A and B are shown apart, each in its own frame.
Chain A
Amino acid sequence: MSAISLSAGAGAPDSPPKEAAAERARPRRHRWYRQPALMAGIGIIGVILVLVIAAPLITPYNPDTPNFSAALVGPSAHHLLGTDQLGRDTWTRLLYGGRVDLHIAFLAVLLPFVLGTILGSVAGYFGGWIDMIIMRLVDIVVAFPFFVLIIALVFVLGPGERSIYIAITLVGWVSYARIIRGEILVAKRQEYVLAAQSGGLSNLRIIGRHLLPNVITQAIIYAMSDIVQDILAIVTLSYLGLGIQPPTPDWGSMISNGQNFLTTHWQLTTIPGLAVVVTGLGLSLIGDGLADLMRPGQ
């Protein structure tokens, strides 16, 4: 929680009474490394990424190999967080589980990002009937509660990683389309776009080279909170047995496996959940920090 007090201290750069000092402090606020939320978020996510990527170097155990002679052992020097009912090391499964969940979450956010950006820019730039069709589609998908549609789609498609990608793409593109369309509606009236149009550039080039670089920031900021949603979706699906299939470790199935031992071995359930919470906090902080950084006139 030291991040909070830090952010409070560094977040008030205009506190010196002299105007000249405030004048000098202002531009510094815009530098990314002066953004406390962003830095805290990058720090958290950085540590988590290093841990899960370097998992084979950090832990000597295999996440999937059972060892029944050491089942449900408490935390010790050999097993930092103890073992589960099959004698698998919890710390090892936590690291490898993070590998699986974060890998899928980061990949799963890309497809809806690309699809939503393309459809959103087409809708915003051309307007007319194509805009109407795309936006009606958005309205329809938005009508479904996110989790309900994702769970139903993965159920229909069959459990597993591939279905997760498809379901998240089919449901997730709408937010990006809305954001990009809104930004492009404003940006396409700007002089540089009019200049490009009168210069005879193709629509594709204007959208890709002139408009998108100017409007993509909002979508990137949203993507940070979207990854959090995707991690929650993946973990929830796995908890229900629809996501990552055993014995592959992931945070959701770890929580599900541990819940029968909650009163005796609380760490089996609590630790993987905390991993999700901390990851979500880190990504949200990055998103907030980016938003603060990009907000004009601050």
Chain B
Amino acid sequence: MGRMTFVFRRLLLLVPTALGVTIITFFMIHLIPGDPARTILGIHATPRAIAILHREWGLDRPLVDQYWLYMDRLVHGNLGTSLYYNTGVSGLVTSRLPATLWLIIYAAVLGVIISVPLAMIAASRKDAVRDHVVRVVPLLGLGMPAFWLALILQSELGVRYQLFPVTGYGSGFFGHLHSMFLPSLTVAVALCPVIIRSLRASMLNVLGADFVTTARAKGVPGHRLFVRHVLRNAVIPAVTVLGINIGFLIGGTVIVEQVFAIPGVGQLMINSIFERDFPVVQAVALVFGIMVVLVNLLTDVAYAALDPRVRFDR
């Protein structure tokens, strides 16, 4: 099977998953106890407002019709109307996407910058003290509440030492770089244990390979061996791990955006929860779901394109 066929098959597999994502977000409204329109509108529920919501979502019609209505709106790029902001949800989400993408990419880059040297230190001497330290310390990050770390970083590096802004997104490239450092670091700390673990494992794998033994026998010095021979071959699995964990990465941004007051999609979601703005919550869940599906596809395709050893049997 050729490369193009592989990409095409992956694209086809994308369709049922993407449809499933829409079905789940569609059904969310039916998990609301009681009459969803009445619950969502809360104390502002006038009979007229309830009737409008009922008509807009087709709540009085059969489920299949309701889903059809929902999909019809989706394919026209209409994610619904926000009850709080009283504007189209699509516009709201689009205007907040750049900050979230910044945070995701910045956090991924920081995660790699922190993880690669640590994984190299651990793998350079398996079962030595440094290996055990590098394996145990990141476990602290695994169980660390992101919002808590965010608060600590804010009060120490932000308020006490005034190194970084406590909140906001900044302006211009370097403004973003400066303002988004603490939020990105917070997200990266949760990501590092996962990257370090897989990178260490794949480095140990490569270190045992014949070509490394050959290079050693030829007298290639240690550091050169590591960078030129081991790291290059161990990085591909690590990138895949990053791709697989994109959902984890995106999930981490939601709460971090809230604590650092970054005008991203995650903050929009949390604010909408406080305002009981159901259409926005539903739309954000959908956008994040589709985003993960697309990134997973990209990871697969990039993996296939980059590594000449990947075969396409399945």
In the complex, whether B6 has a CB less than 8 A from a CB of chain A is: no
Q: Is the CB of A148 within 8 A of B288?
A: yes
In the complex, whether A279 has a CB less than 8 A from a CB of chain B is: yes
Complex partner residue of A146 from B133, B251, B273, CB under 8 angstroms: B251
Q: Is the CB of A155 within 8 A of B273?
A: yes
B52, chain A: closest CB distance, angstroms? 20
Q: Is the CB of A145 within 8 A of B288?
A: yes
| Contact partners of B143 in chain A: CB under 8 A | 228, 231-232, 276-277, 279-281, 283-284
A-B pairs with CB below 8 Å: how many?
Answer: 162
In the complex, whether A177 has a CB less than 8 A from a CB of chain B is: no
Assuming A4-B133, A5-B129, A273-B152, is B248 touching A145 (CB within 8 A)? Answer: yes
Q: Is the CB of A270 within 8 A of B152?
A: yes
Q: Is the CB of B247 within 8 A of A273?
A: no
B285, chain A: closest CB distance, angstroms? 5
B167, chain A: closest CB distance, angstroms? 13
Which of A62-70, A204-212, A234-242 lines the interface with chain B? A234-242
Q: Which chain A residue shows the least CB distance to B142?
A: A284
Q: Is the CB of A144 within 8 A of B142?
A: no
In the complex, whether A47 has a CB less than 8 A from a CB of chain B is: no
Range of interface residues on chain B? 35 or more
Q: What string of 1s and 0s marks CB contacts (under 8 Å) between B223-266 and chain A?
A: 00000000000000000000000011111101100100000000
| Contact partners of B128 in chain A: CB under 8 A | 8
| Contact partners of B282 in chain A: CB under 8 A | 152
* Across the A-B interface, the 10 shortest Cβ-Cβ residue pairs: A280-B143, A140-B20, A145-B251, A147-B251, A273-B148, A145-B247, A284-B139, A8-B129, A145-B250, A152-B285
Q: List 13 additional contacts besides A143-B20, A143-B296, A144-B24; criterion CB under 8 Å.
A: A3-B136, A8-B129, A8-B132, A148-B288, A151-B273, A152-B282, A156-B278, A228-B142, A236-B255, A240-B273, A259-B151, A263-B159, A281-B142
What is A's interface to B at a CB cutoff of 8 Å? 3-5, 7-8, 11-12, 37, 136-137, 139-149, 151-153, 155-158, 225, 228, 231-232, 235-236, 239-240, 242, 252, 255, 259, 262-263, 266, 269-270, 272-273, 276-277, 279-281, 283-285, 288
